[in-house]
Amino acid sequence: MPKNQNLKSILIIGSGPIVIGQACEFDYSGTQALRSLREDGIETILINSNPATIMTDPTMADHVYLLPLNTKSIIKILKEHPQIDAVLPTMGGQTALNLCIEADEKGIWEDFGVELIGVDIDAINVTEDREQFRALMGKIGVGMAPQATATSFLKGKEIAQEFGFPLCIRSSFTLGGAGAAIVHDEADFDRLLTYGLEISPIHEVMIDKALLGWKEYELELLRDANDNVVIICAIENMDPMGIHTGDSITVAPAMTLSDKTYQKMRDMAIHMMRSIGDFAGGCNVQFAVSPDENEDIIAIEINPRVSRSSALASKATGYPIAKVAAKLALGYHLDELENQITKSTSALFEPTLDYVIVKIPRWNFDKFEGSDRTLGLQMKSVGEVMGIGRSFQEALHKATQSLEIKRNGLGADGKGYKNYEQIIEKLTHASWDRVFVIYDAIAMGIPLKRIHEITKIDMWFLRQYEELFNLEKEISTFTIDTLDRELLLEAKQKGYGDRQIAHMLKCLESEVYKKREELKINRVYKLVDTCAAEFKAQTPYYYSTFEAEIETADGKVFVDNESIVTDKKKVVVLGSGPNRIGQGIEFDYSCVHGVLAAKECGYETIMINCNPETVSTDFDTADKLYFEPVFWEHIYDIIRHEKPEGVIVQLGGQTALKLAEKLSKYGIKVLGTSFEALDLAEDRGRFSDLLTDLKIPFPKFGIAESADEASALADQLDFPLLVRPSYVLGGQGMKIVINKKELEEHVIDLLKSIPGNKLLLDHYLDGAIEAEADAICDTDGNVYIIGIMEHIEPCGIHSGDSNATLPPFNLGDLVMEQIKDHTHKIARALNTVGLINIQFAVKDDKVYIIEANPRASRTVPFIAKAYGEPYVNYATKVMLGHNKVTDFDFNPKLEGYAIKQPVFSFNKFPNVNKALGPEMKSTGESILFIDSLKDDEFYELYARRKMYLSK
Amino acid sequence: MKYQKLKKAIVLLADGTIFHGKAVGKEGTAFGEVCFNTGMTGYQEIFTDPSYFGQLMVTTNAHIGNYGVNDEEVESDSIKISGLICKNFSYDYSRDNSNGSLEDFLNAHNLLAISDVDTRALVSYIRDNGSMNALISTEVDNIEGLKKQLAEVPQMAGLELSSKVSTKEPYFFGDENAPIKIAALDLGIKTNILRNLAKRDAYIKVFPYNATYEDLKAFNPDGYFLSNGPGDPEPLVDAQNVAKQIIADNKPLFGICLGHQVIALANGISTYKMHNGHRGINHPVKNLVTGKGEITSQNHGFAINREETEAHSDIEITHVHLNDHTVAGIKMKSKNCFSVQYHPEASPGPHDSSYLFDQFISNIKS
């Protein structure tokens, strides 16, 4: 059956603010779905409260509602758009499904004659309600772990007695494994059971026998209305059962499954999919496989919607799951659609990979002091990276190089652990660094068998690690002069960075690079094409690798490179890498707009990024996508290959910005604001001199490199003091101290964790109001302030964690004039070309400068959404020299105020101090429009402000 | 465990192109027609599939050998490919339910393998230039000598290979008391076909490729089966005659792959050598009778002529390949006979099409 012709207008529900367990992967899937529906001439209406998304751009849907995700908003939209025929709830994660169910229970869909497409309520219920799901699996003969439901504390205790420990507790209808825990013994059970029941909206937990050490797999499927089912990707968790899949290192394709067992799993998945009622779209099924010779397979769960894993699977295979899922929801059958990559073959097929991808989660435990850093059933990571390589080893290395945690890959950087007890402890209690510790354990000589016993990680993976270490050892016996081509090529093929090889050979990175050049060991680029080169692909989605040589019949020797360089003028946009606190989806928003703007200016756009959750790494976004670590060596090789006019660094947050220095040093043009200006803004001393010259006030400050110096400085500056290391992100390590004892403690702490760093001490303007301005500036010094926001909370709370209003709600004309005046002066003085964000503290009607960042800030997407203006587009055109600020017709539209509200994920870290301070802790944000300051919500936020003031 | 340095090796194509790589283990030279398989699982099943006889197999999956080998996951009694070309070879494996490493298995069957080849470039090359004869060798300093030897390898087109892999003597498979008896002509049969039939209460007598219809009939079977196998179907005149006689008697008949081509030839439909064939476990087929799609396991370098099939008054196309619209399945309108170009027995591959065995059994019963 082809498309359902009755569907002309469709409502899509987004996933709201970013929280742990539900991140920007839903911006990617929502964006794809909107584009896909539009291709079919469908009118689209979107609701999502997250302004920092591409999907909420006015151009993405016919009507975008930046409203809170509740039934009140749904009713409002349905009243305004009686033409809506259907709602598609499978693109916005659990949030959208839950809202859809709530609206269904209230009879809203029925009242407005809105059809549910993609999935029906029964299918959602049967997959969400663990009791129903279990009953269904029993009926169709799919095995599950012994499991029972408890809706009361007493019932839970009874179940535990029956099953014995270890047990898993999982809360029903929650997200990212919230409330889930493994209970090893009775002592912890009561507490965890109570917590699990409390966090479930229906006060229900599932208790199951823990299958610790079983191998864990996920299959990403598509099913159409004709019951055709295809498996898009099989993902193997390197970390076995016991660690949430969102926190596991995962690999595709499955590495250790025989065809027999894989096909059995495939049959089960299809059987399960077909049993859950009406469903047309993308779906995820999770399985556990016993590691013994029985290879028993049991089902864990089904998610009848696109997910984090489907985003990963889309990037891993090149098959755009959400895009096709949206078409299936319209009624199309898979065999009626084409493969989006080859454009010549059918969408009804199963992608095959001739490379390996490794996903590693990115954690931010440092932001949650006191948190339990051990990984378990509850997801704790805030982002992820994906590495693509022609072997598991290369992919693993690339993923570790993408993390931006100051590691160059596995081993060979002198940063490994060397203490036996510590290594065993870290293997036992998996945390963010276990992926590195395995290497250290092998280096220390701990037998693989022992590592396997502790971690239960499949021996195949451990042997791959061992091979890497053996290679490192072998190379270490050479010098840069004696190393032969074959061995160097092998090291590069296995993903070792030049820096690591330099470490092994005790030489400089540049010498390794030079040697590579001499020996013609150069990166080549291969396509992600869904079909292992069986068909010609049309999609410019590349990854790098090193390959063996080929010799033509007439003796020409070459290495096969699939990335053909065009003679068009090109620009590279550097992405922002993994999401983390302080650098999230906002920067991906900016990167995507940068790419689109550069396209409009006639450039061929080249995107480099390694975050699989994002729109920027959708192959539909840039003209060429290089899915590569935002890591110097990879970037430099791409630039050498493509020879772009320049690189845009100011859109990809700190990740991209910090590469500006090296780019400049290597003579590569940084488009927009120069490296010198970026550096000047970061250098507190020189920046203060500049402010002094401009006669702009700033809080007294000083720089200290030891506790003694800090103490002496404190006498000059007066307490309270704001203490922080230089060059950090999201206020990392920033703290307000009120006396010398606190100062000394914090200084010692900082110098311990970041040795050799310079510390900045600012006099803290107690009780000041904080405000910030974003502006665009061009080479002629024209400045346009795109927005000024006032924080509701007082100074001292990180701007990312503050509620803020656009425009300011109670700053007088005098203050506003100073803000504008300072912004103009600073933007010009820094020779800003593009975006700049300046933060202010206002005390006694005097405006002080806290800091200036000549780059796209976190607030830019918010302001763009609130005013309905494409500011990043304008700024990019200014950076490229294509336009002047004066070329644009600025026409901001906003009635009343827009409030930016931070959203936190503290529920994932029950023991963490939730107090806010100069270090950012929020994971996402939402936008709230109010007509006037009399609005109750604003009043409440404002009233809460007093709470902080009284502290 | 120590770092292991591997010897150099090459793939030499008939047109003179050389792909560099490393020898997995043993040294020497092996010849065959180079082809690729895109499956991500099931290497052991592929290597032992008689349809691959005489082929140098390029596996596109990034790693081969990860889960070792298992005595039961074989499709015949030996390795049938003539050589292996891969990217990363796993010397160590991990699987409790395994009987040894792939390296040992290859050595036991005296198979030459080379790794670290840019298999992706090689696949693209075959895709663009068509499948061709090739060799793999560790004699990297004897290119000219190798070229001479390669020139003497016969072309696959016109090559009859069933005789090389078919059983010499008839044998039985399954429970002799089973209610259904099937005579199977072994043109290079995969064991999983027999397992699938036996599972459905059939007792099978497997005949050599050159058996006559009388030989088969003597078993007094309820149905006849023409198997898959290697090589060009055209020279298989005996098998075509057997098919003609079965059809003439209107006995239940089912053919898979080469057997399907033989049935087409028996009906006067010609076959042709494809550019580079279909070899993988992700091939989409649409069942035109039910309108449903199925993901299938495929392995064929020849196909039946579509126009002639469409024009044939007694043949209905039941299945088409969704990527290139080649004929994937036919049935005879007036006879109890059907066949598919792909492999419903899977192994390796998805089980989406196993209903075809049910269909055959039900055809026999009706």
CATH of the domain at B24: 3.50.30.20
Residues B145 and B254 in one domain: no
Cβ–Cβ under 8 Å, residues A671 and A594: no
Q: A237-241, A742-746, A845-849: lowest mean pLDDT where?
A: A742-746
Q: Write the DSSP string, A539-567.
A: --EEEEE----EE-TTS-EE-----PPPS
- Dmax (CA) for chain A in angstroms is 83
Q: From A292, which residue of chain B is nearest by alpha-carbon distance?
A: B96
Interface contact B38-A531, CB threshold 8 A:
yes
Residues B49 and B16 in one domain: yes
Q: Which two tokens stand for residue A418?
A: 């060397």
Interface contact A392-B63, CB threshold 8 A:
yes
Probe site for chain A from B94, B101, B296 (most A CB atoms < 10 A): B94
DSSP A477: T
For residue range A675-731, list pLDDT tens digits in order: 999 999 988 889 999 999 999 999 998 888 888 888 888 888 888 898 888 766 666
Report the interhelical angle of A186-199 vs A153-163 (nearest 10°).
140
Q: Is B237 within the bounds of a domain?
A: yes
Residue B297 belongs to domain with CATH number: 3.40.50.880
Q: Please compute the mean of the pLDDT values over residues A914-933 and round it to a whole number.
A: 91
> Smallest Cβ distance to B40: which of A253, A460, A553?
A253
Distance CA(B349)–CA(B294), nearest Å, equals 11
Within 13 Å and on the Cβ side, how many CA atoms surround A342?
A: 22
Within 13 Å and on the Cβ side, how many CA atoms surround A876?
A: 30
User: What are the C-alpha distances in Å from A549 to residues A532, A572, B137?
Assistant: 19, 29, 16
Specify the pLDDT at position A128: 82
Amino acid identity of B5? Answer: K
Query: Where among B83, B116, B151 does a domain terminate?
Result: B151
Specify the pLDDT at position B4: 86
Residues B259 and B353 in one domain: yes
Interface contact A354-B60, CB threshold 8 A:
yes
The ipTM (two decimal places) reads 0.97
> Smallest Cβ distance to B350: which of A266, A348, A466?
A266
At A950, the pLDDT band (50, 70, 90 cuts) reads very low
Interface contact A258-B67, CB threshold 8 A:
yes
Distance CA(A228)–CA(B291), nearest Å, equals 10
User: pLDDT: is A738 or A609 the higher one?
Assistant: A609
> Smallest Cβ distance to B3: which of A459, A463, A470?
A470
Specify the pLDDT at position A951: 42
Which B residues in the span 98-117 are in contact with A, Cβ-Cβ below 8 Å? 116-117
Would an 8 Å CB–CB cutoff place B141 in contact with chain A?
A: no
Residues B144 and B282 in one domain: no
Secondary structure class of A5 (helix, strand, coil): coil
Distance CA(B207)–CA(B204), nearest Å, equals 10
Residue by residue, what is the 3-state secondary structure of A134-197? Answer: HHHHHHHCCCCCCEEEECCHHHHHHHHHHHCCCEEEEECCCCCCCCCEEECCHHHHHHHHHHHH
Residues B181 and B234 in one domain: yes
Q: Is B3 within the bounds of a domain?
A: no
Q: Which two tokens stand for residue A510?
A: 């540049």
Q: Which two tokens stand for residue B341?
A: 């170009």
Specify the pLDDT at position B331: 98
Specify the pLDDT at position A727: 63
In total, the C-beta contacts within 8 angstroms joining chain A to chain B are: 194
> Smallest Cβ distance to B67: which of A256, A344, A549?
A256
Residues B91 and B166 in one domain: no
Tell whether B229 is in a known binding site: yes
Tell whether B82 is in a known binding site: no
Probe site for chain B from A258, A266, A390 (most B CB atoms < 10 A): A258
For residue range A179-195, list pLDDT tens digits in order: 788 898 888 899 999 99
Would an 8 Å CB–CB cutoff place B289 in contact with chain A?
A: no
Tell whether B258 is in a known binding site: yes
Residues B143 and B269 in one domain: no
Block residue for tokens 């395994």:
B98
- Nearest Cα neighbor of A578 from A349, A335, A782, A312 is A312
Q: Please compute the mean of the pLDDT values over residues A225-237 and round it to a whole number.
A: 97
Q: From A452, which residue of chain B is nearest by alpha-carbon distance?
A: B94
Q: Write the DSSP string, A916-933.
A: --SS----EEEEEEESST
pTM: 0.95
Alpha carbon of B146: minimum distance to chain A alpha carbons (Å): 13
Specify the pLDDT at position A731: 67
Say whether pLDDT at A946 is over 70.
no
Q: Enumerate domains of chain A plus CATH numbers.
A: 9-117 (3.40.50.20), 146-209 (3.30.1490.20), 222-351 (3.30.470.20), 408-521 (1.10.1030.10), 700-763 (3.30.1490.20), 769-950 (3.30.470.20)
Alpha carbon of A753: minimum distance to chain B alpha carbons (Å): 36
Alpha carbon of B331: minimum distance to chain A alpha carbons (Å): 22
Query: Where among B151, B177, B198 does a domain terminate?
Result: B151
Q: Is B157 within the bounds of a domain?
A: no
Q: Please compute the mean of the pLDDT values over residues A903-929 and round it to a whole number.
A: 87
Mean pLDDT of chain A: 93
| Total tally of structural domains belonging to chain B | 2
Q: From A459, which residue of chain B is nearest by alpha-carbon distance?
A: B94
Alpha carbon of A175: minimum distance to chain B alpha carbons (Å): 32
Residues B100 and B244 in one domain: no
Q: Is A920 exposed, middle or buried (0-12, 13-18, 19+ CB in 10 A)?
A: buried
> Smallest Cβ distance to B61: which of A354, A459, A547?
A354
Range of the domain at B252: 162-365
Interface contact B95-A258, CB threshold 8 A:
yes
Cβ–Cβ under 8 Å, residues B9 and B113: no
Task: Give the DSSP H or E segment for A99.
Answer: helix A93-105
Phi, psi of A332 (to 5 degrees): -60, 150
Q: From A472, which residue of chain B is nearest by alpha-carbon distance?
A: B3
Secondary structure class of A344 (helix, strand, coil): coil
Residues B144 and B185 in one domain: no
Query: Where among B121, B151, B181 does a domain terminate?
Result: B151
Specify the pLDDT at position A730: 61
Cβ–Cβ under 8 Å, residues A513 and A487: no
Block residue for tokens 């700053």:
A811
For residue range A783-802, list pLDDT tens digits in order: 999 999 999 998 888 899 99
Distance CA(A419)–CA(B223), nearest Å, equals 70
Q: Write the DSSP string, A817-835.
A: HHHHHHHHHHHHHTT--EE
Secondary structure class of A384 (helix, strand, coil): strand
Interface contact B38-A460, CB threshold 8 A:
no
Interface contact B284-A549, CB threshold 8 A:
no
Interface contact B38-A350, CB threshold 8 A:
no
Per-residue pLDDT of chain B (366 residues; tens, 9 = 90+): 688 899 999 999 999 999 999 999 999 999 999 999 999 999 999 999 999 999 999 999 999 999 999 999 999 999 999 999 999 999 999 999 999 999 999 999 999 999 999 999 999 999 999 989 999 999 999 999 999 999 999 998 889 999 999 999 999 999 999 999 999 999 999 999 999 999 999 999 999 999 999 999 999 999 999 999 999 999 999 999 999 999 999 999 999 999 999 999 999 999 999 998 999 999 999 999 999 999 999 999 999 999 999 999 999 999 999 999 999 999 999 999 999 999 999 999 999 999 999 999 999 998
Residues B176 and B272 in one domain: yes
Strand order in the sheet with B171-173: B171-173, B202-207, B180-185, B223-226, B253-256, B337-340, B327-332, B315-321, B271-287, B293-304
Q: Write the DSSP string, A617-652.
A: TSTTTSSEEEE--SSHHHHHHHHHHH--SEEE-TTS
Interface contact B295-A536, CB threshold 8 A:
no
Alpha carbon of A350: minimum distance to chain B alpha carbons (Å): 5
Say whether pLDDT at A742 is over 50.
yes
Say whether pLDDT at A173 is over 80.
no
Q: Which two tokens stand for residue B318?
A: 């039941």
Q: Is B192 within the bounds of a domain?
A: yes
For residue range A257-281, list pLDDT tens digits in order: 999 999 999 999 999 999 998 899 9
Distance CA(A303)–CA(A87), nearest Å, equals 18
Residues B182 and B139 in one domain: no
Kindly list the residues from chain A whose CB atom is less than 8 angstroms away from the CB atom of residue B61.
253, 352-354, 532
Block residue for tokens 């025989």:
A258
Residues of B carrying an active site annotation: 257, 343, 345
Tell whether B51 is in a known binding site: yes
Bond preceding residue A807 cis, omega within 30 of 0: yes
User: pLDDT: is A553 or A369 the higher one?
Assistant: A553
For B129, residues 6+ apart whose C-beta sits below 8 A from its C-beta are B15
Say whether pLDDT at A581 is over 60.
yes
Q: Is B2 within the bounds of a domain?
A: no
Residues B257 and B355 in one domain: yes
- Nearest Cα neighbor of A927 from A102, A66, A285 is A66
Specify the pLDDT at position A240: 95
Say whether pLDDT at A109 is over 60.
yes
Interface contact A259-B60, CB threshold 8 A:
no
Block residue for tokens 């290979």:
B161
